[in-house]
Chains A and B, each alone.
Chain A
């Protein structure tokens, strides 16, 4: 070793260019306390305003990006899942004999084959395959692995399931009532709630000149990524499971797969493939335990690709919300108090409902300085497609409600919709309903700049912009 070092010392060219030495020099020692560089407020990163191209843009355009459906493992089987097709039912029997006898069908599993038939990111209320009860029409009841996708699809029709159909709970407001039977009885239908209180809303209402009320609803939305959900599993002879999946959260996925299959996480490797669109719809496992078990049973790799209809009824969706708003204002438009009640339709399983509930509730009063706020939010089970993460976790829904409510009030008070927002919007140092002091607030500047950009000309003038949309006020004031 000493010789090696002296050789280096004999070569000044190497010492002059230390970067060609391998391995690289270690970083200099850090002295404590570590200086943390706190960026100044409103400091723009140098990346803003620059043109950038994606590192994978060329492969995309050449059609060479390999998404999971473009992957094939030798000797691979194809899996399909039999869906319940009914919202609420008791499963009396599942007969897979005829399907098993079909040429090309290699294995079939039902809920009985699953070591631990429940998972979920916060509440573990979701079965991998429905066991004795069906909670929504997209519930899987059995899964087939076959030589081709076509054979697997045909085999689904040969699986005979006998149901005792029960009356489903479909309306979230019905679900909220105590007398409504529990979707997951004996658990209550309300499985999450949040309350935020600031100031005294009753007193504020008493001091207000006008009180406005409004109810707003949003519908269920599916993410529709162009790439349908897919996964491939390979259970090797050493008892190690490799899963290729279009999943976005692989560590959470490993935990869920470990739980459902009853094997330690150290035996599970999840390879995240290039994702063809996620939008929140690929945030938790779906068919991974199923293909894992089918692979274990057959000793061959197994792939399961969702069909487009399955994407709609057997994946997560955006929560539909019913939002009640009551706001007390002065005649000039200053908001004194606001009371909000949100009911989230959670569908059959919890999934990311708790996150959505929290964020919707925190943001429900809008980006406005309101001293007195009372917001309560509930999420309830219904026998519908489950809801989960999607772009904003509840923020778009409440934004629709509070901005519509602001417009209604401005209209009734005869105030320009921009003015009522400027009068109430957050500013530097405002305190949010949850007590957070806000920094780098540019709500008013944004509103003014946006109004200028689309030629806002005041309420009723209607012809502010040259494209004839002057009367539509799309105020993007989401804090």
Chain B
């Protein structure tokens, strides 16, 4: 068993897990943060994406032990009781999610992108979502929402919807 201490959504958390435990399993089973999903368990689908030290990471490919001392942000850490993150607001507004299973991963990838690039073009958004698969809605409405969120985060008006 290994004991891991890390910061999750701003709070210091600690868990003792078998060494083969992935970060995803630890977040879900030990910390009850079930927002990150297990879709493929081999890093293909991106449903498990969380942000580790500012980088979007497939948490099913990262061992819990590797996250020792790291700062992890999950979908649960994006909103507080009063405010939704602009990405979450606009994903809802544009109907970017249908079954929603890929949503937390997509939004975390988008969040990492917007942290690094406040005004991404369509191609840059596509690249950032390269590791996230969606099987229902498709990506157009997600890209629309991410562009809108970027607008709002830059303090600009949301362009009128056609």
Q: Are A61 and B39 in contact (CB under 8 A)?
A: no
Say whether, besides A276-B37, A277-B135, A308-B39, A60 and B45 are in contact (CB < 8 Å).
no
Q: Are B95 and A57 in contact (CB under 8 A)?
A: yes
Q: Are B95 and A225 in contact (CB under 8 A)?
A: no
* Residues of A contacting B45 in the complex (Cβ-Cβ under 8 angstroms): 226
Q: Are A307 and B99 in contact (CB under 8 A)?
A: no
* Residues of A contacting B34 in the complex (Cβ-Cβ under 8 angstroms): 63, 66, 69-70
Q: Are B93 and A226 in contact (CB under 8 A)?
A: no
The segment from A5-13, A31-39, A48-56 found at the interface with B is: A48-56
* Residues of A contacting B98 in the complex (Cβ-Cβ under 8 angstroms): 54
* Residues of B contacting A67 in the complex (Cβ-Cβ under 8 angstroms): 37, 101
Q: Kindly state whether residue B92 has any CB partner on chain A within 8 Å.
A: yes
- Taking the closest CB of chain B, its distance from the CB of A367, in whole angstroms, is 26
A51, A57, A60, A274 interface centre (most CB from chain B within 10 Å)? A60
Q: Kindly state whether residue B42 has any CB partner on chain A within 8 Å.
A: yes
Interface size on A, residues (CB 8 A): 34
Contact with A along B13-30 (1 / 0, CB 8 A): 000001010000000100
Q: Kindly state whether residue A411 has any CB partner on chain B within 8 Å.
A: no
Q: Can you list 30 A-B contacts (CB < 8 A)?
A: A51-B161, A52-B95, A53-B95, A54-B98, A57-B91, A58-B84, A58-B88, A58-B92, A61-B88, A61-B100, A61-B103, A63-B35, A63-B74, A63-B76, A63-B78, A66-B34, A69-B34, A69-B38, A150-B20, A225-B99, A225-B101, A226-B37, A226-B47, A226-B99, A226-B102, A226-B134, A227-B99, A276-B100, A277-B99, A278-B99
Q: Kindly state whether residue A265 has any CB partner on chain B within 8 Å.
A: no
Q: Are A308 and B42 in contact (CB under 8 A)?
A: yes
- Taking the closest CB of chain B, its distance from the CB of A73, in whole angstroms, is 14
Q: Kindly state whether residue A467 has any CB partner on chain B within 8 Å.
A: no
Q: Kindly state whether residue B116 has any CB partner on chain A within 8 Å.
A: no
Residues in A lying within 8 Å of B, measured CB to CB: 51-54, 56-67, 69-70, 150, 223-228, 274-279, 305, 307-308
Report how far A185 CA is from B45 CA in the complex, Å. Answer: 41
* Residues of A contacting B28 in the complex (Cβ-Cβ under 8 angstroms): 70
* Residues of A contacting B99 in the complex (Cβ-Cβ under 8 angstroms): 60, 225-227, 274-278
Report how far A274 CA is from B88 CA in the complex, Å. Answer: 19
Q: Are B95 and A279 in contact (CB under 8 A)?
A: no
Report how far A273 CA is from B84 CA in the complex, Å. Answer: 25
Main SS of chain A's interface residues? loop
Q: Kindly state whether residue B136 has any CB partner on chain A within 8 Å.
A: yes
Q: Kindly state whether residue B144 has any CB partner on chain A within 8 Å.
A: no
* Residues of A contacting B134 in the complex (Cβ-Cβ under 8 angstroms): 226
Q: Are A62 and B95 in contact (CB under 8 A)?
A: no
> A59's closest neighbor in chain B, by CB?
B100
* Residues of A contacting B135 in the complex (Cβ-Cβ under 8 angstroms): 223-226, 277, 279
Q: Are B103 and A228 in contact (CB under 8 A)?
A: no
Main SS of chain B's interface residues? loop
* Residues of A contacting B161 in the complex (Cβ-Cβ under 8 angstroms): 51
- Taking the closest CB of chain B, its distance from the CB of A419, in whole angstroms, is 32
Say whether, besides A61-B84, A61-B92, A226-B135, A277 and B101 are in contact (CB < 8 Å).
yes
Q: Are A63 and B95 in contact (CB under 8 A)?
A: no
Q: Are A61 and B38 in contact (CB under 8 A)?
A: no
B30-79 contacts to A (CB < 8 Å): 34-42, 44-45, 47, 74-76, 78-79
Which of A61, A225, A227, A308 contacts B97 (CB under 8 A)?
Answer: A61
- Taking the closest CB of chain A, its distance from the CB of B42, in whole angstroms, is 7
A52, A67, A224, A227 interface centre (most CB from chain B within 10 Å)? A227
- Taking the closest CB of chain B, its distance from the CB of A348, in whole angstroms, is 24
Report how far A227 CA is from B38 CA in the complex, Å. Answer: 8
Q: Kindly state whether residue B153 has any CB partner on chain A within 8 Å.
A: no
Q: Are B92 and A227 in contact (CB under 8 A)?
A: no
Q: Kindly state whether residue B133 has any CB partner on chain A within 8 Å.
A: yes
B72-121 contacts to A (CB < 8 Å): 74-76, 78-79, 84, 87-89, 91-93, 95, 97-104, 107
- Taking the closest CB of chain B, its distance from the CB of A244, in whole angstroms, is 15
* Residues of B contacting A58 in the complex (Cβ-Cβ under 8 angstroms): 84, 88, 92
Question: What 3 pairs between A and B have smallest CB-CB spacing?
Answer: A63-B35, A60-B100, A276-B101
Report how far A51 CA is from B161 CA in the complex, Å. Answer: 10
* Residues of B contacting A61 in the complex (Cβ-Cβ under 8 angstroms): 84, 87-89, 91-92, 97, 100, 103, 107
